[in-house]
Amino acid sequence: MLPSRLRARTGLAVLAATLALTTACGEAPQRESDDGGDSGSASGASAATATSAEDLGGLAALEEAAKEEGKLNVIALPPDWTNYGEMISTFSEKYGITVDSAQPDANSQDEINAAEQLKGTDRAPDVFDLGSAIARANVDMFAPYQVATWDDIPEELKDPEGRHVSDYTGYMSIGYDAGAVPAPTSVEDLLGPQYKGKVALNGDPTTAAAAFNGVVMAALETGGSPDDVAPGVEFFRKLKAAGNFLPVDPTPATIASGQTPVVIDWDYTNAAQTQALAGKRDWKVVVPEGAVVSSYYQQAINKDAPNPAAARLWQEFLYSDEGQNIWLEGFGRPVRAEAMQEAGTIDEEAFANLPEAQGDPVNLTVEQEEKAKNYLSANWAQAIS
């Protein structure tokens, strides 16, 4: 999560390698392994069924098994999204594991589709980073796993079996080029003539979490509620009718070129653009007061992962202090932030640099999210057609 997730998800800059995920003619090659594809420890335990590092004999044994595989397949992780570029390169260098990154501009549903299409091949994604609605709808595809820092993660932010676990969040925001448009303070400001042909939403809200929550933010500011997102859809209908809505997915390139001078997206992606465009464009970020919308992305392991040990080591790295602080450096709010503050292990400077927000964050419940998803499925396309 700008095209589906800020295409180049703010902050990451280096991918260890690129894995093409386009469907080729013929059948993809099968992974070869002495033990049928299930890496294991010296004791014979299988990484593919391990629900914690302890099942393999501890973190050192998991690391050894992952290094033997030597590869990790990730998907939908733009380098400029919550610092995933650094996350990937640091993991690769730390463990000597090649990371193949497929479809960095894909959305959450694309991840699931790719896993289904490539099941049984060595190109299938090992891990996922998904919006919560997509994660909950596909829980049968995930392997249960609990990282070493499991107890630091609030109970309400993780599946009890560890099939999907919250990782980082942000707040919905309006990013804008202060040199091209007046400063907005609310989404309703964007209906004004000064924003004609200038407002972009990051993705399709029926498939992309960022866009979905952008509609929720608009709903909260225009008379709606977590139980009623219809006003949010109506807002975008008005935005389109006014000629202000841009039917393009914003990217770092479109922002830099001036093509998308206003972008509704997570504050961490917009804040990263402020940093990236320093001295080039005066890109600013505002989180509308009274409409602070938050939603955690979810980490999950593909139960059919071709590199099951590397998949589990990746999770351990993401939820370590090092991994959590890398997300924080990319303006994401890591799920272990409170525990790390208490332990004194959080990057205080990066924490202080997070965009300012006023008001209590709104997190949709499972029921509210499902209701909103159904409403969008039935009404979004017609509203912006």
**Position 366 confidence tier, pLDDT thresholds 50, 70, 90:** confident
In a domain, 264, yes or no: yes
Q: What 3-state DSSP class applies to 72?
A: strand
Q: Model-level pTM? A: 0.81
Whether 196 and 274 share a structural domain: yes
Looking up tokens 């392994």, which residue turns up?
A: 33
Starting from the edge strand earliest in sequence, which strands make up the sheet with 283-286, in order? 199-201, 262-266, 172-177, 283-286
Whether 368 and 346 share a structural domain: no
Whether 231 and 116 share a structural domain: no
Structural domains of the chain, count: 2
Whether 371 and 279 share a structural domain: yes
Separation CA 29–CA 114 (nearest Å): 15
pLDDT surpassing 60 at residue 14: no
Whether 262 and 304 share a structural domain: no
Mind listing the pLDDT tens digit for each residue in 23-47? 333 333 333 333 334 555 444 469 9
Mind listing the pLDDT tens digit for each residue in 171-223? 999 999 999 999 999 999 999 999 999 999 999 999 888 999 999 999 999 99
Mind listing the pLDDT tens digit for each residue in 345-359? 999 999 999 999 998
Is 302 in contact with 127 (CB distance < 8 Å)? yes
Mind listing the pLDDT tens digit for each residue in 262-318? 999 999 999 999 999 999 999 999 999 989 999 999 999 999 999 999 999 999 999
- What spatial distance separates the first Cα and last Cα of the chain, rounded to whole Å? 24
Whether 324 and 339 share a structural domain: yes
Mind listing the pLDDT tens digit for each residue in 305-345? 999 999 999 999 999 999 999 999 999 999 999 999 999 99
**Position 133 confidence tier, pLDDT thresholds 50, 70, 90:** confident
In a domain, 8, yes or no: no
In a domain, 2, yes or no: no
Q: Which stretches within 22-72 are classed as H helix? A: 59-69
120 is in which domain, residue-wise? 17-169+296-352
Q: What 3-state DSSP class applies to 225?
A: strand
What rounded mean pLDDT belongs to the chain?
Answer: 89
Whether 158 and 65 share a structural domain: yes
In a domain, 311, yes or no: yes
pLDDT surpassing 50 at residue 381: yes
Whether 284 and 300 share a structural domain: no
CATH number at residue 377: 3.40.190.10
Whether 203 and 58 share a structural domain: no
Is 283 in contact with 115 (CB distance < 8 Å)? no
Whether 320 and 260 share a structural domain: no
Mind listing the pLDDT tens digit for each residue in 61-78? 999 999 999 999 999 999
Separation CA 336–CA 340 (nearest Å): 6
